[in-house]
Amino acid sequence: MSKNIRNRTKQRKRYNYLNFSLQNNGFFEKPFLKLFLFSLLLLFKSHVLSNKKSHPSALHEKAGIPRPEMISATAVENIQHFRKIQPSAAELVEGILAGNITALSRAITLVESTNGTHLAKATEVINACLPHASQSVRIGITGVPGVGKSTFIEAFGKFLTGLGKKVAVLAVDPSSTISHGSILGDKTRMEELVKDKNAYIRPSASGDTLGGVARKTRESITLCEACGFDTIIIETVGVGQSETAVHSMVDFFLLLKISGAGDELQGIKRGIMEMADAIVINKADGDNIKKAQFAKMEFNRALHLFPAKKSGWTPTTSTCSSITHEGIPAVWETIEKFLELTKGNNYFFEKRKEQNQYWMLETINEQLKTNFYNNPEIQKSLDSTKKAVQNDEISPFAAAQFLLEKYFKKK
């Protein structure tokens, strides 16, 4: 009983205490809370204002990290100079002739531009560069995807810069018209060459037609040569028409192959074999050496079945490994022999003249086509005429004639 009374007294005491503290809370805390919140607000405001003073806008730039010493101050200055301003044609030419890579890249971008206003400036730059194009050798390299073109160019390019040469790598890649340049991804395969100050790697131009892309690469060659590059490598994927375009802009055409399952000649286009000045079997390393040797023999036999070349050159076959670099110097020796022969019999110079004519005609064809399809009158009638042809309402030839007449009348 007495325990019960003690418990109840305890409970009452606790209740009284709680009651008292609640009452006190109500009484004391409200003004305190207000004061506390108010001072918090003041603090926050002053913080924001002081921050605003030091960061006037969201675009405020921090000082950043200092430039590492290994980066040349002159190079940075050159890049900044050319980025900031839109250099005139004369300035670009001056930069290119002085060996400035930034000026070269800008000029190539100009050449690749589809903006009509850039055309005149690009033409001016190219014309001014033409007389200064260095004595160069232009090498075309083709091969199916995965054959090792990029790896080969990395090894071969490094070998050439080791000889004191200045190497420019350009590309004609039909797939790049969609993917905007495959060498760009390939740059990872050319890790060493990318870093080499005597090498310049440019992803292939993008465009609507192979002809357009190839023409831009052809013009880029002139710019690279004027910039002092004496060895120009043009890479292309050996699937489609791009080899013909590349063959028409190089002195030496190299077909890269790998050994297969003994059926080396299967599926290889006769046209590509005919164009090749050398067939190099890549990946001749490890277990693959014997197979590569066999493939070499087979290609050699096949090449002898082709008629003799106008150049007087007998195409060669060899093996190499772009990984171990075995056989890479021999490829250059072959090219040197080719140059000696074809410069001696004048074929080298005659071929370049022929190529120049080819590119003039190609450019006319290309421009006429672009101009035709961009004509507003043609654009208006093209779709309906196409439909009429599809529905046999008009013959394809009559429809073409109808559109051409429309185009020339409006000219």
Q: Give the footprint of ligand GTP on this chain (CB under 6 A).
A: 143, 145-151, 182, 186, 189, 237, 282-283, 285, 321-323
CB under 5 to 8 A by kind: which of ligand GTP, Mg ion, none does 143 bind? ligand GTP
Site for Mg ion in 132-161 (CB under 5 A): 149-150
Q: Is 236 an interacting residue with respect to Mg ion (CB under 5 A)?
A: no
Q: How far is CA 24 from the centre of its chain?
A: 77
**And the tokens for 307?**
């008629």
Q: Are 341 and 309 in contact (CB under 8 A)?
A: no
Closest to 154 (Cα-Cα) out of 322, 333, 318, 331: 322
In three-state form (DSSP H/G/I as H, E/B as E, the rest C), the secondary structure along 228-276 is CCCEEEEEEECCCCHHHHHHCCCCEEEEEEECCCCCCCCCCCHHHHHHC
CB under 5 to 8 A by kind: which of ligand GTP, Mg ion, none does 237 bind? ligand GTP
CB under 5 to 8 A by kind: which of ligand GTP, Mg ion, none does 148 bind? ligand GTP
Contacts of 347 (CB under 8 A, 6+ apart): 310, 311, 312, 341
Binding mask 172-211 vs Mg ion (x if CB under 5 A, - otherwise)? --------------x-------------------------
Report the nearest approach of Mg ion to the CB of residue 169 (Å): 11
Contacts of 311 (CB under 8 A, 6+ apart): 277, 338, 341, 342, 345, 347, 351
**Ramachandran region of residue 60, left (φ > 0), alpha (ψ -120 to 50) or beta?**
beta
User: Considering beta carbons, is residue 144 or 303 the nearer one to Mg ion?
Assistant: 144
User: Considering beta carbons, is residue 125 or 147 the nearer one to ligand GTP?
Assistant: 147
Report the nearest approach of ligand GTP to the CB of residue 180 (Å): 15
CB under 5 to 8 A by kind: which of ligand GTP, Mg ion, none does 257 bind? none
Q: How far is CA 263 from the centre of its chain?
A: 34
Report the nearest approach of ligand GTP to the CB of residue 120 (Å): 35
Q: How far is CA 345 from the centre of its chain?
A: 36
CB under 5 to 8 A by kind: which of ligand GTP, Mg ion, none does 271 bind? none
Report the nearest approach of Mg ion to the CB of residue 152 (Å): 9
CB under 5 to 8 A by kind: which of ligand GTP, Mg ion, none does 355 bind? none
User: Considering beta carbons, is residue 144 or 302 the nearer one to Mg ion?
Assistant: 144
State the first-to-last Cα distance of the chain, in angstroms, to the nearest integer: 121
Q: Is 251 an interacting residue with respect to Mg ion (CB under 5 A)?
A: no
- b/e code 200-228 from CB counts within 10 Å (16+ = b): bbbbbbbbeebbbbbbbbbbbbbbbbbbb
Report the nearest approach of ligand GTP to the CB of residue 295 (Å): 13
Report the nearest approach of ligand GTP to the CB of residue 325 (Å): 9
Report the nearest approach of Mg ion to the CB of residue 397 (Å): 42
User: Considering beta carbons, is residue 124 or 285 the nearer one to ligand GTP?
Assistant: 285
Closest to 167 (Cα-Cα) out of 142, 197, 130, 147: 197
Report the nearest approach of ligand GTP to the CB of residue 249 (Å): 19
Phi, psi of 199 (to 5 degrees): -130, 150
User: Considering beta carbons, is residue 189 or 369 the nearer one to ligand GTP?
Assistant: 189
| The length of the chain, given as a count of residues | 411
